[in-house]
Amino acid sequence: MTAKKLNDSFENVETEDLQDLEGICDIKPSKPCSSLPRPKLIERPIFKKILQGQNKASFTFGALDPKDPMIGLRFDEYGFLLNHHLTKPVVRESLSVVQIREKQRKINEWRQILREWPANMGPSLVSLIEAGLPHEIRAQVWKKLTSASFPASQTHGYFDEMLSIRPRKKVVEQIDLDLPRTFPNHKIFLPELMNVCHGQDYLGQVLRAYSVHNSAVGYCQGMSYGAALLLMHFPQPEEAFRHFSFIMDGKLDRHFCHRMPGLIEDVATFAKLLEEALPKLYRHFQTEGLDCTIFLSQWWLSLFTSVPLWSTTLYAWDMLFLHGPKSLFTTALSVLSCCQDELLLLRGEGQMVPYLLNPPPEKTQPSALCHAAKLFNVDNLLARHRSAVQVRSPIRSPLSSPIKSPIRSPLRAASPRSSTKKVGRSLLDRFVDRITPRKSPRKRSLLEDEATPQIDKKKRMEGNDENVVNCIRLDVADDFKGVNGFKEFSSPARRVISFGEVDSPISPQGTELRDITRTPEIHQ
């Protein structure tokens, strides 16, 4: 983009879009514009300054501090612009002193765990990660989770080598088309700050390198969101690339390649899992003629970046790094399970699809999904229903070196092992004791469901047994409230998924649910 174009785009943002801010922020278009709160506008002179190249030195990643008064832009804790024309107006609660201390304590403990990271992941560490990571140390944990699995040949110069090969023209065109459309409301991808943040450049590099690295996939829309999410955590494109290939290679790439065979197989498998795990909801989908592909294609191909709550997205990614592609099934089942009661009240595609494409933030808090995930034993379910994730062909590298990645079996890869280094164990156990309940249902589900009587298991899978659900809540929820739960409640719904869909159930604040069971089909 030339400087002029940049200026133009900025002009557009100011004069056209910001005038109509209410509309994008508003879920219900018919509401009179004047009655809505008008979010604070971006301060124009500052952008002008940036565009003229002044203050350039201070506009590094670090300088884009949420509180930097010079900039006048406000970001949430994940780096998404607050009160932007692409962002929902957000009501944020500030943390109390106690909560801040608690959060700091958790971060410090995680730092120690990171220092003493065990060679083999034990179940306690697995459950710790499942319980929720402080955002500050997330990238480091992901790094630890992947470090053992990178092919040695990929460490040095591989990324540059991939970058030096030009992808096919069609691939380049599609990538270039999507760069400015990928999280344009995040601080590193803001179109207005493009020439100081380079986020789009780096994103282009990661995607082009990957398209060469895995030429069978090339580039598919949706991948840009995953790569962009990684760049938010790993500012170096090379590192983002490595983690991206960790997620994709030999596992999810079949979801994205030509004709999407992996997606189609996995959706079919998911339907079987759903039938077994949430039979009521499955029957409801059948009655209403809803095909799982409709929502799964968006959830899975966007790698859960399409859901409104960013902390939900990050939870899904934690699980992806921890458990591999089978976590796509678990997370999707958990979301459905959390929303089941409301979904059962909705009728037809017209009501159900908007709900599913935009699941309500208050129902999909990571803590809620974590609880719900305990209700399913996806390993068992998948073992019974052959899944596409189990059959993965290794990708072909464009270089003839032995880089051809030793693809790990996704299902075996993340299975928790019992051997933990002694030093890690004692520390972990102390930590786990604090945040995990005694006789924890979490531990039980980690250690397999085999011991659970058949009836009980069935009930748990169905998620109907109130006792089971309550007992999990009682056991776990309290610990979460202080540590993670509160934070998540205060985290903003990231953005409006463009479809401001007339019947959308999410309020601008994402906190209350409108009655969408009665769509106004009848008009006076």
Residues 325-364 that bind other proteins (CB under 8 A): 349-350, 353-354, 357
- Smaller CB separation from other proteins, 20 or 433: 20
CB nearer other proteins, residue 113 or residue 307: 307
3-state secondary structure of 26: coil
Of 174 and 405, CB closest to other proteins:
174
Q: How far is CA 434 from CA 130, 478, 484, in A?
A: 15, 11, 14
Considering only 222, 237, 262, 410, the residue that binds other proteins (CB under 8 A) is: 222
Residues 386-425 that bind other proteins (CB under 8 A): none
CA distance linking residue 78 with residue 66, whole number of Å: 10
Of 33 and 423, which has the nearer Cβ to other proteins? 33
Residue 75 vs 376, nearer CB to other proteins: 75
How near is the Cβ of 260 to other proteins at its closest, in Å? 6
**Alpha helices (H) in 54-122, listed in sequence order:** 97-115
Secondary structure string (H, E, C) spanning 301-333: HCCCCCCCEHHHHHHHHHHHHHHCCHHHHHHHH
Q: What tokens were used for 417?
A: 């092992």
Check binding of 210 to other proteins (CB under 8 A).
Answer: no
Contact 217, 253 (CB under 8 A): yes
- Kindly report the CA angle at 295 between 252 and 224, in degrees rounded to 5? 45
> What is the enclosing helix (H) or strand (E) of 207?
helix 199-213
Smallest gap from Cβ 92 to other proteins, in A, equals 23
Please, what is the minimum distance in Å from the beta carbon of residue 385 to other proteins? 22
User: Which is closer to other proteins, CB of 33 or CB of 114?
Assistant: 33
Q: Which of residues 269-308 bind other proteins (CB under 8 A)?
A: 291, 293-294, 297-298, 301-302, 306
Token pair for 519: 């769509």
Q: CB neighbours of 173 closer than 8 A, spacing ≥ 6? A: none
The full DSSP string for 376-418 is --HHHHHHHS--GGG--PPP--SS-STTS--PPPHHHHT---S
The secondary structure of residue 506, as a DSSP letter, is: B
191 makes contact with other proteins (CB under 8 A): yes
Part in contact with other proteins (CB under 8 A); list of ranges 25-33, 90-98, 112-120, 139-147 = 25-33
Q: How far is the CB of 231 from other proteins (least distance, A)?
A: 16
500-519 residues in contact with other proteins (CB under 8 A) are 500-503
Nearer to other proteins, 422 or 523 (CB): 523
Report in angstroms how near the CB of residue 453 gets to other proteins at its nearest.
Answer: 40
Q: Name which of residues 81 to 100 contact other proteins (CB under 8 A).
A: 85-86
Residue type, 89: P
- Binding segment for other proteins (CB under 8 A), chosen from 40-48, 52-60, 222-230, 379-387, is 222-230
CA nearest to 135, candidates 112, 105, 103, 113: 103
**Is position 175 an interface residue for other proteins (rule: CB under 8 A)?**
no
Provide the residue type at 316 as one letter: A
Backbone angles phi, psi at 496, to 5 degrees: -85, 130
Buried b (16+ CB within 10 A) or exposed e, 391-410: ebeebebeeeeebbbebbeb
Task: Compute the least distance from the CB of residue 423 to other proteins, in Å.
Answer: 44
> In the set 30, 94, 400, 454, which binds other proteins (CB under 8 A)?
30
Q: How far is the CB of 440 from other proteins (least distance, A)?
A: 37
Footprint of other proteins (CB under 8 A): 9, 12-13, 16-17, 20, 23-24, 29-33, 85-86, 174, 177-178, 180-184, 191, 220-222, 224-225, 256-260, 264, 291, 293-294, 297-298, 301-302, 306, 349-350, 353-354, 357, 497-503, 521-524
